[in-house]
């Protein structure tokens, strides 16, 4: 199964080891495939490095390098028109559509408010972990 993860979840996983990090632990255990575009990976790196200036206790580089190697890259599908309130969120929708992802994991209220765009579930990290537990992922 393919999953797209929003930048806010990625950055939270690096700096605050809570539910967001548990989502990435499932990826590390190969419970799902992480779908990303070059643009998403660039955004992950840019935001994580910017956060490092403020929160120096965690080094984002191993995370950035790991995902650059392990994420399944695809070209984003055109959406036609802006779908989310914040146009920068559309990269996650385009990636999900192009990759055939079943889920987008996000803490972004605008993305979560879209419901199930293009048949893709948009879940919080907590909801995703609950769903994964029901699927028997450990």
Q: What is the pLDDT of residues 64-96, one digit of tens each?
A: 999 999 999 998 876 665 556 565 778 999 999
pLDDT, tens only, 3-59: 999 999 999 999 998 999 999 999 999 999 999 999 999 999 999 999 999 988 889
CATH fold, domain 2-134, is Rossmann fold (3.40.50)
List the Cα angle 33/35/37 in 5-degree steps. Answer: 155
Mean of pLDDT values over 93-113: 92
The reported pTM is 0.91
Predicted local confidence at residue 90, as pLDDT:
86
pLDDT, tens only, 108-138: 998 898 888 778 999 999 999 998 888 887 7
Which three-class secondary structure state does DSSP give residue 27?
Answer: helix
């Amino acid at each position: 199964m393919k999953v797209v993860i929003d930048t806010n979840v990625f950055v939270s996983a690096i700096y605050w080891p809570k539910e967001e990090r548990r989502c990435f632990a499932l990826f590390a255990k190969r419970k799902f495939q992480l779908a990303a575009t070059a643009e998403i990976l660039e955004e992950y790196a840019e935001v994580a490095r910017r956060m490092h200036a403020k929160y120096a206790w965690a080094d984002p580089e191993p995370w950035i390098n790991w995902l650059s190697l392990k994420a399944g890259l695809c070209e984003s599908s055109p959406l036609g028109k802006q779908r989310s309130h914040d146009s920068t969120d559309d990269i996650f929708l385009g990636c999900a559509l192009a990759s055939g992802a079943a889920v987008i994991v996000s803490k972004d209220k605008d993305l979560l408010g879209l419901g199930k765009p293009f048949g893709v579930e948009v879940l919080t990290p907590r909801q995703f972990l609950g769903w994964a537990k029901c699927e028997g992922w450990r």
